[in-house]
Amino acid sequence: MKNEKISVAAPPLLGAGDTGLQANPNISLFLAYLAAERRYSPLTVSGYARDIERFLAHLGIAPDDFRPALVAADDIRSWIVSMGETEKLAPKTINRKISAVRSLFRWLRSTGAIERDPFLKIRSLRTPKRLPVWIPERQMEGVVDRVLELCDSADEDERTDATILLLFYSSGIRLAELVGLTRESFSDDFRTLRVVGKGGKERIVPLPEKTGAILQKNFVPLTSRARAYHAVHSGLEMMGVTGKKSPHVLRHTFATHLLDSGADMRQIQELLGHSSLAATQVYTHNSVAALKKVYNQAHPRAKK
């Protein structure tokens, strides 16, 4: 076997629950590679570690006994079937886990630790295409009006939560990106925001004057994803928004409203920090869906 080619001492893993995987240098070095070279966040690296650990558990292998060269395509297929039939996981979730373990084996082959990649014979599951959920512009206008009122609340928690919600909608940033912000992330006048996105890529996002003034007064750096998520979920619920309520819904809303107002697709791609235009083009489907709904409700021939 080629495992002995990797002899560098394995660094500690990111995440308190991943210590069992340190026993295998192949896995530990792979996770260190994700953090140091791919610049994935600690949360993302821990997610990869959990998926790899679940894969090994399905095979009945302890981390220190893992020999990647002995894994066959049938072992992977058995794991996929188990996730679907026993764990009842959705295809999208299964594909994410497949992708994590596939990345490990691709890296092992690139380093010479294995000669054969069993994942070359594995296809991801088909998943139904779902349109991003967003809040209609007219309803969002009412939400923003209420948010602006709360940004002047005498209650500090109300001010902070409202400011969080306003920032998500004004900038379209991700939850993980917001949690990493400090006052130094903003320009002196709070009219632009420097965001460090996936893969450590930086982008500059402009902010409306009113949003900038509120942030300059109310912004408090956050270290808790849960606090930011709760601020959005509870805020949107209180304001009568139905369906899914999350920071990512506000990101979708930001992009959809820009597109509906005539923004260029490339500009939206840059604002969102998408690596490819294909990821941004999904919002065109949102706009078409909205047009179809209006047409079906208003056009006399559609009613007949």
Question: Which residue in 96, 198, 225, 285 is the catalytic one?
Answer: 198
Q: Active site includes 251?
A: yes
Q: How far is CA 173 from CA 114, 196, 206, in A?
A: 39, 10, 11
Q: How far apart are the first and last CA of the chain?
A: 70
User: Is the pLDDT reported for residue 267 higher than 50?
Assistant: yes
Q: Active site includes 169?
A: no
CA distance 14 to 29: 11
pLDDT, one tens digit per residue, over 21-49 is 878 899 999 999 999 999 888 889 999 99
Looking up tokens 């560098």 gives: 8
| 149: amino acid identity, one letter | E
pLDDT at residue number 12: 41
User: Is the pLDDT reported for residue 11 higher than 50?
Assistant: no
**Residue 179 CB coordination number (10 Å):** 20
**CA atoms within 13 Å, Cβ hemisphere of 198:** 11
Q: Active site includes 58?
A: no
Q: Any idea which of 59-63, 227-231, 244-248, 257-261 has the lowest mean pLDDT?
A: 257-261
For the record, the structure tokens of 301 come out as: 């021939």
pLDDT at residue number 290: 63
pLDDT band with cut points at 50, 70 and 90 for residue 128: confident
Question: Which residue in 106, 203, 244, 248 is the catalytic one?
Answer: 248
Question: Which residue in 159, 251, 252, 257 is the catalytic one?
Answer: 251
Q: Active site includes 248?
A: yes
Question: Which residue in 102, 174, 252, 257 is the catalytic one?
Answer: 174
For the record, the structure tokens of 115 come out as: 């000669």
CA distance 74 to 237: 46
Q: What is the mean pLDDT of residues 11-15?
A: 41
For the record, the structure tokens of 120 come out as: 């070359």
State which H helix or E strand residue 36 sits in: helix 25-36
Mean pLDDT, the chain, integer:
87
Q: Active site includes 233?
A: no
Q: What sign does the dihedral 81-133-206-237 (CA atoms) show?
A: negative
pLDDT at residue number 5: 36
Domains along the chain? Answer: 3-121 (1.10.150.130), 137-301 (1.10.443.10)
**Residue 66 CB coordination number (10 Å):** 19
Question: Is the model more confident about 120 or about 295?
Answer: 120
Q: Active site includes 283?
A: yes
